[in-house]
A and B are shown apart, each in its own frame.
Chain A
Amino acid sequence: MSEKLIDSGNNAAAMAVQLAAAEVIAAYPITPQTPLTEKLSELIAAGKMDAEYVAVESEHSALGVCIGAASAGVRAFTATSSNGLLYMSEQLHWAAGSRLPLVMCVVNRGIGAPWSVWNDHQDAMSQRDAGWIQIFAKDHQEIVDMTLKAFRLAELVHIPVMVNYDGYYLSHTYMPFELPDAQTVREFLPTYDYAHTLDPEKPESLNTVTLPDARNDINGVKQPGYMDIRHNLHQEMRLALQVWEEIDADFQQRFGRGGTPILDPYRCDDADFVVVAMGTLANQFHDVVDRLRDEGLKVGVLALQIYRPFPTAIIAEALQSVKAVLVYEKGLSYGNQGALYADLKSALYPYPNRPQLHNFIVGLGGRDIGTEDLYQTLKTACLQEALGTPEQNDTPQWIGLQL
């Protein structure tokens, strides 16, 4: 039987990992992820979850343990935040290159220096090119559902998946959510047999040195070189979008939730102006959109649920005929623009009637994101657009600066 609960986002994630029957958990404490791993260690110690918990000495080792376990064919999980994610960065690339079906929750937090324990998305954005699939949850229900779907996706496409959710906004707040029935989850996420694992009966040497060129094996069959292996990762990551949609459809059939695996639009159908945002920020815009709609502005908000692989065609199709796209994000590529903004601009470039784009940077290091600020900046941008098309301005506008 499914269960209705009110609990924290971190506990929601822990219970999803328990339901997913991960067998090896390795983690290192870092705020605001810590309660998630505490909960998992508690579930395992109490015998409520049948898994190995490895208390490691660093995040680099946390993902190292998961790499070892997954290479030996066992479902593994870790979680981190901020500098912890950066400390394991080398292992992220390794896990992706090794095509391991790992799942990791990243409880998003700003990166030092200076230290900040509060939320933004710079940690996840800094790892966008590591070869991991990156999805973003907006509420506790999505944390649960996305975590379960993430294991299925990782195991089907052999690419690790990062489930992102906002530190404190979700990790430490309590919200109602439904925890799915364990038997139904087992049917949705059956145990999986890996093709290439460490097995003395079928010895294979994994991740050996490759040469620039493809090379024959002892039977004279040409085997891929480094570049071919990396090309496969890219191609299969692009195909993962479709697999993600199929998984979502299956999930919806079994559990009654889903239908927005890639984009989650709110009042976008006839919108002239569309906000694009990820995570809780997209939900915060619902009230702003309602207020501006009441004032007669045709505004909507589009939550981007999956950032890597970037759903280039899907999002461009959704936005190509609107008047303006307003990209609000909690991170940026320093010295340039918001990373999401740059991605969207590039996705829309081939469309002749492409909209103008505006970039807003908000909430770095937990700076409060006032709904009034969102309302004012969005309204101003929409009115400017309505008056006549201003020049495309790529300079991001920082909202909420205090000095």
Chain B
Amino acid sequence: MTTAAKTNVLNLSTEEFVHPGNRACSGCGLSILYRIGLKALGRDCIFVVPPSCLTVMQGLFPIAASQMPILNGTFASTAAIATGVRAAMKRRGKQTQVVAWAGDGGTADIGIQALSGALERNEDIIYICYDNEAYMNTGVQRSGTTPQGGLTTTTPYGKKEQGKNLPEIVAAHNPAYVATCSASYPLDFHDKLLKAKQISGLKYIHIQTPCPPGWGCEERMTVKIGKAAIDCGLFDLYEIEDGKKQLSEPSRKLLKKAKLPSVQEYLSMQTRFKALSDEQIAVMQERIDQKWADYRQEFCAE
């Protein structure tokens, strides 16, 4: 497994692809990812975007928020449309990177059929899912990745079901590359994109993306909350290549810690978890502890 080049604020490209002023909410995790992600992807890219916050962020016709070719498509068909664009590029003999960029609803729910098809065919595209854990663009309705207990406008007393573990569902298709990222670690995302660009076949990147209006927090807390999710061991950053999983640095360093901060600290930073009972939080904590016990066995034995 190759180690990605380490980009930092000193050597990050100063070229901007997103125009100043766009329609993202203040504190938007996606806007961080979009700005930094485009720096990694460069100009020779075509984006395919389903209905999502990114649709709105791009701006309203005839004004665009970025300088990229973007094809807006129907909700369920992001991976299929990206397949078609990639097929066209192949016909034209072009290496142009085709990037599908969708939300959690567009990926885990309505778009999962097309994604699964593209994964099976191992299409040569990058598929990015920015997961803000609900349908935020339509005003915070529950999605397949909304965590258990989470308050949304359609789960007014908290979601009863567990969220889908989408990166693992994707990994079960055995694609070329799977990585998880966080809006709080945009340079990790940047470097994983650089790596993905070098790999042929389907590259899937899943990003936990804090959303202040949807999660119920102040705009200034976006990065802190994303970091807290990783620090308490709830959300892990990793890469899967050739079926082999490896933790990325922000999560790997937790292996050395005897005890992680309790999940309660992360949950209490957001109003969406205020309906969780102590019992539910205890169950959540148990699951995290078990996961990290397994991780220590898996990764520390090496």
Contacts and interface: CB of A to CB of B under 8 A. Distances in A.
A207 B71 contact: yes
Nearest to B86: A68
Given A200-B44, A204-B69, A91 B77 contact: yes
Nearest to A51: B91
B184 interface: no
A61 B58 contact: no
A56 B120 CA distance: 10
Contacts of B92: 72-74
Interface in A58-114: 58, 60-74, 76, 90-91, 94
Contacts of A202: 69
B72 A206 contact: yes
Size class of the contact patch on chain B? 35 or more
Contacts of B59: 205, 208
B124 to A, nearest CB: 12
Contacts of A381: none
Contacts of A72: 46, 84-85, 88-89, 92
A215 to B, nearest CB: 6
B223 interface: no
B46 A198 contact: yes
B87 A57 contact: no
B126 interface: no
A68 B77 CA distance: 10
Contact of A55 (B60, B96, B121): B121
B71 A52 contact: no
A54 interface: yes
A217 B87 contact: no
Contact of A64 (B70, B81, B96): B81
Interface of A is mostly: mixed
Given A65-B80, A68-B82, A76-B84, A223 B61 contact: yes
Interface string B103-125: 00000000001101100110000
B48 interface: yes
A211 B81 CA distance: 24
A72 B80 CA distance: 14
B74 interface: yes
Contacts of B55: 208-209
Contact of B43 (A57, A66, A200): A200
Nearest to A223: B62
Nearest to A219: B62
Contacts of B96: 200
A199 B89 CA distance: 10
Interface string B43-67: 1111010000001101111111011
Contacts of B86: 68
Contacts, number: 171
A68 B87 CA distance: 8
A66 B84 CA distance: 6
Task: Give the residue among B44, B73, B77, B91 with the most A Cβ atoms within 10 A.
Answer: B77
B76 interface: yes
B121 A54 contact: yes
B72 A205 contact: yes
Interface in A177-222: 198-200, 202-211, 215-218
A3 B85 CA distance: 35
Nearest to A66: B84
B217 interface: no
A94 B56 CA distance: 18
B84 A26 contact: yes
Contact of A209 (B44, B60, B69, B117): B60
A210 B60 contact: yes
A153 interface: no
Nearest to B88: A72
Interface in A365-394: none
Contacts of B56: 209
B255 interface: no
A209 B84 contact: no
A138 to B, nearest CB: 32
A23 interface: yes
B90 interface: yes
A23 B81 contact: no
B91 A52 contact: yes
A126 to B, nearest CB: 18
A122 B49 CA distance: 33
A27 interface: no
A200 B45 contact: yes
A24 interface: yes
A206 B49 CA distance: 10
A205 B64 contact: yes
23 contacts: A24-B91, A54-B87, A57-B114, A60-B113, A61-B113, A64-B77, A65-B84, A68-B48, A69-B84, A71-B88, A74-B88, A76-B84, A90-B76, A91-B77, A94-B74, A203-B67, A203-B70, A205-B59, A205-B72, A207-B71, A208-B64, A208-B72, A209-B56
- The 9 tightest CB contacts between A and B, nearest first, are A68-B84, A64-B80, A57-B117, A64-B77, A72-B88, A61-B80, A65-B84, A74-B88, A68-B81
Given A51-B91, A64-B74, A215-B60, 5 more contacts: A60-B77, A64-B84, A70-B84, A198-B85, A215-B63
